[in-house]
Amino acid sequence: MLYKGREGMWSWILHRVAGIGILLFLLLHIVDIALIGAGPELFEKFLGLYTHPLFRIMEIALVGAVFYHALNGIRVILIDFWPRAANFQRPIFYVEMVVFVALFTPTAYLMIRALLMAQGQGG
Ligand code: HEM
């Protein structure tokens, strides 16, 4: 079974990129919550960054990363516990992609709509 350059390799690379991306958001979240101790002004100012359109686009990517990482993680766990599933890892990956698109498309639509509405109201 050729691994390099095929679904197995790309799903693994995406899993790592998504996992590290989520981890970076988690670290940022720890920083923002820690700022509560520095007083309300700094905390509120820092949270204001999250309303910036660029940040909100990154949040859409974060949701995509969480959906992908969670779904692909389930596929990896399935193969870990039931090795015969490795013979079907490609079809399982395609099922995973269908579920991913079904979850992410409406979510991204709602998030983009909220972003555009906020922009229309001046942020
Ligand atoms: C929905 C819950 C999650 C599930 C089911 C899940 C599942 C997994 C699995 C099975 C692996 C091992 C992949 C492998 O052996 O190839 C893994 C790796 C990893 N996960 Fe998660 N995970 C979840 C949430 C998270 C969260 C919240 C973070 C970040 C804060 C995270 C960060 C990572 C990282 C950095 C790796 C290492 C990736 C690598 O070595 O390529 N995961 N995850």
Q: Considering only CA atoms, which residue is closest to atom 42 of ligand 1?
A: 19
Among 29, 62, 68, 69, which residue has the most ligand 1 atoms within 8 Å of its CB, making it the best to mutate? 69
Q: What is the DSSP code (8-state) at residue 4?
A: T
Closest CA to 100 of 73, 75, 76, 71: 71
Check if 86 has its Cβ closer than 6 Å to any atom of ligand 1: no
pLDDT on residue 2: 55
Domain that holds residue 16: 7-120
Q: Which residues of the chain have pLDDT under 70?
A: 1-3, 122-123
Nearest-10 crossing angle of helices 7-34, 40-48: 150
Per the structure, the count of domains in the chain is 1
Residue 120 C-alpha to ligand 1 middle, in angstroms?
37
Note whether residue 87 is domain-resident. Answer: yes
Note whether residue 1 is domain-resident. Answer: no
Check if 62 has its Cβ closer than 6 Å to any atom of ligand 1: no
Note whether residue 83 is domain-resident. Answer: yes
Note whether residue 43 is domain-resident. Answer: yes
The domain spanning residue 13 has which CATH number? 1.20.1300.10
pLDDT on residue 53: 95
Residue 72 C-alpha to ligand 1 middle, in angstroms?
9
Note whether residue 2 is domain-resident. Answer: no
